[in-house]
Every structure is written in C-alpha cells, then in structure tokens.
C-alpha cells in the first residue's frame, strides 16, 4: 500500500472514530448525566427520558455504534484493498 493511500485510509478511519465517539459521549454523558434533569421533564411510557438514557438507552446505542463501526470499517478495508 502506498504512503498516500495509507494516509487517506487512516484519515477516513479517524473521521469515523470522531463521529461515533461523539455519539457515544452524547448518549451517555450528555443525555444520561449532564442534561438528565432537563430530559427528565419529558416522559414516554413510564420512563423519564434522562433516566431511561442512563439506565437503558445509552447501552442500546453502544451496541448499535459497534455494529455500525464494524460495517463501516469492513467497507473501508475493501475500498483500500486491505481486507482479509
């Protein structure tokens, strides 16, 4: 793999990481901790929204984030011909 290609591959990878980790931070720290009181004023079914993010929602999103990451990276590996 050429030096330029490798740089481009790494840059795209870092781009994915930045987006996915921002969502990771948002659902757990922002929704579940920093804004929990504000979100708790919103209710769906028997759940206060902030509480739901802290004890349920964040964990669902974590699993989904890894699934998306695996899909994105498999595609990226193929694009640059570095898959196995």
Residue ranges that bind another protein, judged by CB under 8 A: 1, 6, 9-10, 13, 17, 20-21, 24, 28-29, 32-34, 36-37, 40, 45-48, 51-52, 54-56, 58-60, 62-63, 65-67, 69-70, 73-74, 77, 81-84
- CB 4 → another protein: shortest distance, Å? 13
Q: What angle do CA 71, 78, 6 make, to 5 degrees?
A: 110
Torsion angle, alpha carbons of 19, 22, 28, 31, to 10: -110
DSSP code, position 2:
-
- CB 17 → another protein: shortest distance, Å? 6
């Amino acid at each position: 793999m050429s030096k330029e290609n490798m740089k481009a591959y790494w840059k795209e990878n870092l781009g994915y990481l930045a987006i996915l980790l921002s969502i990771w931070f948002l659902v757990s720290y922002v929704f579940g901790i920093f804004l929990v009181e504000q979100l708790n004023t919103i209710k769906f079914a028997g759940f206060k929204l902030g509480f739901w993010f802290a004890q349920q929602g964040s964990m669902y999103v974590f699993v989904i984030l890894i699934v998306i990451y695996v899909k994105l990276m498999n595609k990226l590996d193929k694009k640059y011909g570095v898959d196995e």
